[in-house]
Amino acid sequence: MVPSPDSILIQRAADIVQKGGVVAFPTETSYGLGASIKHIDALERIYVIKKRPRHKPLLILISDTSDLIHLVSRVPPPAVTLMERFWPGPLTLLLPAKLGLPWPLCADTAKVGVRISSHSWAHSLVQTLGNPMTATSANLSEHPATYKAEKVADQLRSCPPDYILDGGPTSGGAPSTIIDVCTDPPEIIREGAISPKHIRTWVKRFNVHGSRLKSPDWLLTKG
């Protein structure tokens, strides 16, 4: 059982991120590394902390779909369907990136990976911060994911984050499922916590019944 978010600890973590720091925090599956998308130096530090290859972009957490207007040029209709069913949750959608985003968020892909977390601590952290932040796993590249705060500290001891938000152990298991909705049809890039069968079943239902969401005008903006 996930303990209730500690507002004092979350505010401390948010303050560090707001000032350009990097924090580790719990998510639905493992611990993640958070930096504000407004601080390019902090984004680059994550690559150093994780020893992450430079060609791999960093995934992003948002607190609400209204944050997408700052990140993407458009939201394809299949993405709206998937957001309706699986957000908040461990589903990352690759969307067309808005021009001018820092390179760590999209590298040379012209796409940006986004989701809303269903973990109470992670979601509270993004809400308290007030802007999107990264959500890449808090482990060395090609090493096992970390499910406890002490495991984060141990694995990243050679180049630690500025703060570890200890929200207790996470549930473990597969990371978020990643779907590229820039393609037609959408493509599952990484199988994860939400099974392909579950996703295909929902999309099939949508094709029959249609989405209950009405896309706001900003979904169609360019640039």
The CATH number of the domain holding residue 177 is 3.90.870.10
Does 222 map to a domain? no
Does 223 map to a domain? no
Give the domain extent around 27. 7-209
Which of the pair, 4 or 10, is modelled with greater confidence? 10
**58, 203 in Cβ contact below 8 A?**
no
Does 218 map to a domain? no
Does 217 map to a domain? no
**131, 105 in Cβ contact below 8 A?**
no
How far is residue 125's CA from residue 147's CA, in Å, rounded to a whole number?
18
Does 214 map to a domain? no
As a whole number, the mean pLDDT across the chain is 90
pTM here is 0.89
Does 94 map to a domain? yes
Does 216 map to a domain? no
15-57 pLDDT tens trace: 999 999 999 999 999 999 999 999 999 999 999 999 999 999 9
The answer, yes or no, to whether the previous bond of 88 is cis (omega within 30 of 0) is yes
Residue 185: the pLDDT is: 82
199-218 pLDDT tens trace: 887 776 655 444 443 333 32
Q: Is the per-residue pLDDT at 222 higher than 80?
A: no
Does 2 map to a domain? no
Number of structural domains in the chain: 1
142-196 pLDDT tens trace: 999 999 999 999 999 999 999 999 999 999 989 999 999 998 888 899 999 999 8
